[in-house]
Amino acid sequence: MKGRAESGARTYDVVLFGATGFVGELTAAYLAEHAPAECRWALAGRNTAGLTALRERLTARWPHCADLPLVVADAADPGSLRELAESTRVVATTVGPYVWYGDGLVGACAEAGTDYLDLTGEAEFVDLTYVRHDARARETGARIVHACGFDSVPHDLGVYFTVQQLPKDVPIRVDGFVRAGAAFSGGTFASALTALGRGPEILRAARERRLYEPRLVGRRARAPLGGPRFSRETGTWALPLPTLDPQVVARSAAALDRYGPDFRYRHYASVKTLPMALGGATAAGVGVAAAQLPAVRSWLMDRYRAGEGPSAERRSRSWFSVRFVGEGGGRRVFTEVSGGDPGYDETAKMLAESALSLAFDPLPKTAGQVTTAVAMGDALIDRLRAAGIRFRVAHRG
Rounded-to-integer distance, Cα 211 and Cα 227, Å:
28
Under the banding of pLDDT at 50, 70 and 90, the label for residue 289 is very low
User: Could you report the per-residue pLDDT of 235-271, keeping only the tens digit for each?
Assistant: 999 999 889 999 999 999 999 999 999 999 999 999 8
pLDDT of residue 195: 61
pLDDT at position 283 over 90: no
Between 287 and 22, name the one with better pLDDT: 22
Mean pLDDT of the chain: 89
Mean local confidence (pLDDT), 289-307? 47
| pLDDT score, position 199 | 82
pLDDT of amino acid 193: 55
Averaged pLDDT, 332-360? 97
Distance from C-alpha of 104 to C-alpha of 74, rounded to nearest angstrom = 10
Predicted confidence at residue 72, as pLDDT, reads 98
How confident is the model over 95-112, as a mean pLDDT?
96
Evaluate if residue 290 carries a pLDDT over 90.
no
**d(C-alpha 229, C-alpha 39), whole Å:** 48
Q: Cα separation of 295 and 356, whole Å?
A: 41
pLDDT value at 396 more than 80: yes
Mean pLDDT, residues 192-198? 63
- The pLDDT confidence band at residue 346, using thresholds 50, 70 and 90, is very high
Give me the pLDDT at residue 348, please: 97
Residue 61 has pLDDT above 60, yes or no: yes
The tens digit of pLDDT for each residue in 302-329 reads: 554 555 678 899 999 999 999 999 999 9
Determine the 3-state secondary structure of 324 from DSSP. strand
Flag whether pLDDT at 299 surpasses 90.
no
- pLDDT, residue 255, reads 98
pLDDT tens, position by position, 112-157: 999 999 999 999 999 999 999 999 999 999 999 999 999 999 999 9
* Residue 397 pLDDT class (50, 70, 90 cuts): confident
State residue 298's pLDDT score. 52
Q: Where would I find the H helices in the chain?
A: 22-34, 48-61, 78-87, 98-101, 103-112, 123-140, 153-163, 186-196, 199-212, 245-255, 274-291, 294-303, 312-316, 345-360, 372-375, 377-386
Looking at residue 223, its pLDDT comes to 97
Tell me the mean pLDDT in the region 55-78. Answer: 98
Predicted pLDDT at 361:
98
Mean per-residue pLDDT, 339-346: 94
Q: What is the pLDDT of residue 286?
A: 38
Task: Please name the amino acid found at residue 137.
Answer: A
Cα separation of 22 and 24, whole Å?
Answer: 5
Q: Taking residues 173-201, what's their average pLDDT?
A: 72
Contact status, residue 205 vs residue 124, Cβ threshold 8 Å: yes
How many residues in total does the chain contain? 397
**Does pLDDT of 294 surpass 60?**
no
Q: Is the pLDDT of residue 287 over 50?
A: no
Using CA atoms, how far apart are residues 155 and 160, in angstroms rounded to an integer? 8
